[in-house]
Chains A and B, each alone.
Chain A
Amino acid sequence: MITKEMKISEVLSAYPQTLNIFVSVSPHFKKLNNKILRKALASRVTVEQAASIANVDLNTLLFELNKSIQNSFESIKSSAKDLQSNATIIQKPKFFDEINPDKILKLDVRPIIDSGKDPFMDIMTKINELKDDEILLILNSFEPIPLYSVLGKKGFEHWTEKERNLFKVYFYRGQGKNQNEIPKEQRPSLQETDFKKMIELDVRDLVPPEPMMKILETLSKIDENTVLLVHHHREPMMLYPKLEERGYEAISNKIEENYYKVIITKKRN
């Protein structure tokens, strides 16, 4: 159950499939696709705050989110059944016997998880790169049940093998369903927009308008691959229109009283 008090990061790590919901509810949440932004923001913002940021109705958002995990509850149930049936029948899809081992791409997500990161993006990147006749094999220490419904929506079927503590999950394109069925606008949003560089600027001991001057002067160093992180003592309301004028956008994140992290990026079209 997702509640309004939960942090976005909690929701996303517990139910990675909700990322789709966020992104589909409002373009504001496309930022969540970006690792740096997700790290900086998602851990601070509650579902309730997020709803007001994106100008969407809180109840609607909660309903959509819970509906999406409801599906995964159901898929847990059904996959539990599957597991049982798998365990009893131990039957794998027929074509696996004929498949060329080269066509199986392996992704071991255990080191990613061990390092404290969410492997969801890596999985999605791989999935997006997957050719029609290829199969993605995910190696994990637990069964990645939420993935079933996320990838299921993208037209993938799965087959899970268990070897002691290792789960081998094969994802392959289901018959009759292909990627083209997925609404087009969802696809680019799932693509990782990765900023390679981050410039930090601390303007907390400057009086107005020096923070604004410093920030505006730094903008020239900011390109599509660079993010500017400003440590500010308040939310720079007067700065926003100036950024807008120059084709940049900002998100301010209140860390505590008198400490805001302002993330400035160049607008993408």
Chain B
Amino acid sequence: MNQTGNIASAYSPPFKIVAKYFIAGIIAFILLNLLLLFNYEDIGGHHFQPKILSITHIATLGWITMIIFGAMFQLVPVILEVKLFSSKLAEIQFWIFAAGIIGLVYKFWHFNSALSFTAPAILINLAMYIFIFNIIATMKSVRTWNLTGTYLAAALFYLFVTAVAGLLLAANLDHPYIRINHLQYLNLHAHVAFIGWVSMVVMGVTYKLIPMFTLSHNFKLTLAKIAFVLINIGLLGISTIMHYSETTIFYYIFVPLIAVGIILFLFQVLEIFKKRIRKKFDVGIKFSSFAYIILGITTLLGTVIAFIDYQSIINLTLIYGYIIIFGYLSMLIVGQMYKIVPFLVWYHKYSSKVGFENVPMLKDMFNEKIALIEFYFMMTGLILATISFSFQINQLLLVSFFLMLISSVIFATNMIKIFWS
């Protein structure tokens, strides 16, 4: 039971800030696809190459993390029923973060330019510390804690680890000091980023958003709780052993823990879907469900990679990274954005007009038919890219990247339509 007086002003989503992060993320998504298309001949082989590193960081920082930041500013207050600690900090963070990303991406692309790796890495770190501080300060006033909050708190911790590891790696590129393999640290940086930071957010938010969008009730979150414990033990485990060189035996322990944890998460999602009242799959849910399937595939693939000498299959990590970014994360983000952004804009622009004048329905705010085309383009592009990487067919890669670019433009068009509706 609650009284309006206490919460009337408790939170109002900082629309301008959230929109800024989302727009920057969408621009990065198009840029990412453009760069892939124009440099398709350079994409292949080992992942440690200037252009691949550059594009990877546009994807992870510019697209994925930018969207997550925006989404968290929007969702943390809603999910945890608190007011965001500071919109001002979120604004400041945006510019520092954007400057950092541009610097880092530029530096990776022109590997031998005068700019240091460390300088933009420091900016990105600073932006992330501001974010972590802002969200922790927000969480401090939470009265009713929930499982999503736990996942998000863990994600913040891994964001910190990722940021610090990234900074150390950047410094190492400027002045080599890491005694063991640079690539092993890169491995740690990437896995903590994808599983610890991004996936923890994805999972935590999934437990709230999927039931909200599909009207699913009366499911238990038992699997989600076990998954949390397993993934965290596994992640802390591999983060520790990656500081040592002879570690094969420990991989046999920690990697399966993470894999089982993610599989349990997927079963949890399945349970939520089974209990849904809304049977129809709209375009947002289609994207999301496909993304969860891809997550299952990447988990199995990642487990396999951990147990084989993947250096002999030089393209395997590239395929792995590609389907994580485009299959799992981009599909999921696009799907969730088709649900979140219309609501956000609707609430901001129209909720005060309901009952006084005609307001549009969410589905009227964008073109669902083109969105569906986007869905099939992305799916096809993903499959084609995987085939091209595996058999090194460059022409097919060109087709794949072209489909991806078109789908990102469709996505951007729809988002612009929503923002301007």
Could you tell me which A residues sit within 8 Å of B by CB distance?
A: 28, 41, 44-45, 49, 53-55, 204-205, 207-209, 212-213, 216-217, 219-220, 233, 235, 237-238, 240-245, 249-254, 257-258
Residues of B within 8 A of A257 (CB): 217-218
Top 9 A-B residue pairs of the complex, sorted by shortest distance between their CB atoms:
A258-B217, A216-B354, A244-B8, A240-B4, A217-B355, A216-B355, A253-B1, A249-B4, A252-B2
B212-223 near A? 1/0 per residue, CB < 8 Å? 111101100000
Contact A251 B347 (CB under 8 A): no
User: Which secondary structure characterizes the binding site on chain A?
Assistant: mixed
Give the docked Cα–Cα distance between A216 and B346 (Å): 14
Give the docked Cα–Cα distance between A219 and B355 (Å): 8
Contact B217 A205 (CB under 8 A): no
The listed residue (B3, B213, B278, B352) touching A53 by CB distance below 8 A is: B3
Number of interface residues of B (CB under 8 A): 30
Contact B362 A45 (CB under 8 A): no
Q: Is B421 an interface residue (CB 8 A)?
A: no
Contact A208 B4 (CB under 8 A): no
Contact B343 A209 (CB under 8 A): yes
Find the B residue at minimum CB distance from A46. B1
Residues of B within 8 A of A54 (CB): 3
Contact B347 A233 (CB under 8 A): no
Q: Is B359 an interface residue (CB 8 A)?
A: yes
Min CB–CB distance B205 → chain A (angstroms): 15
Could you tell me which B residues sit within 8 Å of A by CB distance?
A: 1-9, 11-12, 78, 81, 212-215, 217-218, 277-278, 343, 346-347, 351-352, 354-355, 359, 362
- Given known pairs A205-B277, A209-B351, A220-B355, the reply for A244 and B218 (CB within 8 Å) is no
Find the B residue at minimum CB distance from A214. B354
Min CB–CB distance B408 → chain A (angstroms): 27
Min CB–CB distance A209 → chain B (angstroms): 6
Find the B residue at minimum CB distance from A45. B1
Residues of B within 8 A of A237 (CB): 7, 11, 78, 81
Min CB–CB distance B418 → chain A (angstroms): 14
Min CB–CB distance B353 → chain A (angstroms): 9
Min CB–CB distance B280 → chain A (angstroms): 10
- Given known pairs A205-B277, A209-B343, the reply for A241 and B217 (CB within 8 Å) is no
**Central interface residue in B4, B277, B362, by most chain A CB within 10 Å:** B4
Contact A49 B1 (CB under 8 A): yes
Residues of A within 8 A of B359 (CB): 213
Find the A residue at minimum CB distance from B354. A216
- Given known pairs A207-B213, A208-B343, A257-B217, the reply for A243 and B4 (CB within 8 Å) is yes
Give the docked Cα–Cα distance between A29 and B346 (Å): 35
Contact B1 A252 (CB under 8 A): yes
Contact B217 A233 (CB under 8 A): yes
Contact A238 B1 (CB under 8 A): no
Contact B8 A53 (CB under 8 A): no
Residues of B within 8 A of A209 (CB): 343, 346-347, 351, 362
Give the docked Cα–Cα distance between A212 and B278 (Å): 18
Give the docked Cα–Cα distance between A49 and B1 (Å): 8
Min CB–CB distance B178 → chain A (angstroms): 48
Contact A241 B12 (CB under 8 A): yes
Find the B residue at minimum CB distance from A243. B4
**Central interface residue in A235, A238, A243, A249, by most chain B CB within 10 Å:** A238
28 inter-chain pairs at a CB distance below 8 angstroms, sorted by A residue, are: A45-B1, A205-B277, A207-B213, A207-B215, A207-B278, A208-B343, A209-B347, A209-B362, A212-B351, A212-B354, A217-B354, A233-B215, A237-B11, A237-B78, A237-B81, A240-B7, A242-B351, A242-B352, A243-B4, A245-B352, A249-B5, A251-B1, A251-B2, A251-B4, A252-B1, A252-B2, A258-B217, A258-B218
